[in-house]
Amino acid sequence: MEIEQELQKRSGYKCELCTATNDLIVYEVNPTSNRGGYENIMTCKTCNDQLTNPATADSNHWRCLNESMWSEVDAVKVVAYRMLSKLASEGWPQDLLDMIYLEGDALAWAKKGLLDESVAKIVIHKDSNGNTLTDGDAVVLTQDLNVKGGGNFIAKRGTAVKNIKLDPNNAEYIEGRVEGQYIVILTKYVKKS
């Protein structure tokens, strides 16, 4: 029997998260080593879209987890736990997180997925010596840099750049003010002061 048919039968032809009955899609829960592969659940298009693109998550839609977090299917509980964790700052999800129960291996699976997602998003900026940079640090240029754009000048080696800003999407870029102009600087050309 095909996986989708098995899931439809198990779920009663409903989304295992919100119980919607139309536009059902198989959702693959992240792999985990102790389970030896993927686990799948049946979701509606709305849940699937919000799971695959968390930026579009509507916290009110996820109030449905109040019921689905009690599922007998570990994969459903894992997805519920992860979504409640992501929405915990809303207030009400934290109450459900306090009540949800997952066995040891299922809880480890749920937390591993959250950890994997957060590690993937972390961008670490390092200077030319391998020191970690943070917003607000002061750095010194390690070589002369040609600055193109509005000023077209040369930023001299040894120039101090105070109160830098880190690019959240690129570990090689920082921003700082040199000679009154805000510029982007490659981290390999600076050292933390």
pTM as predicted: 0.58
CA-CA-CA-CA dihedral for 140, 144, 148, 151, to nearest 10: 70
Q: What is the pLDDT of residues 59-73, one digit of tens each?
A: 889 999 999 999 999
DSSP β-bridge partners for residue 43: 25
- Give yes or no: residues 184 and 146 share one domain: yes
Are residue 112 and residue 17 in the same domain, yes or no? yes
* pLDDT single digits (tens) 150-190: 668 888 999 999 999 888 778 888 999 888 888 889 999 99
Average pLDDT over residues 108-135: 77
CATH number at residue 181: 2.30.30
| Structural domain range at position 65 | 3-121
Residue 127 counted as domain residue: no
Across the chain, which distance is largest between two alpha carbons, in Å?
Answer: 69
| Residue entry with tokens 């800003």 | 165
Which pLDDT does position 78 carry in this prediction?
Answer: 92
- Residue 13 pLDDT class (50, 70, 90 cuts): very high
Tell me whether residue 133 is in a domain: no
Do the bridges between strand 145-147 and strand 153-155 make them parallel or antiparallel, or are there none, so unpaired? antiparallel
- State whether 80 and 154 are in the same domain: no
SS (H, E, C) 51-92: HHCHHHCCCCHHHHHHHHCCCCCHHHHHHHHHHHHHCHHHCH
Residue 67 counted as domain residue: yes
110 shares a domain with 143: no
Looking at the structure, tell me whether residues 62 and 95 fall in a common domain. Answer: yes
pLDDT in tens, 35-60: 555 689 999 999 999 988 877 888 88
175 in the same domain as 99 = no
> Does residue 165 form part of some domain?
yes
Count of domains forming the chain = 2
131 falls within a domain: no
pLDDT, position 89: 79
Flag whether 129 is in a domain. no
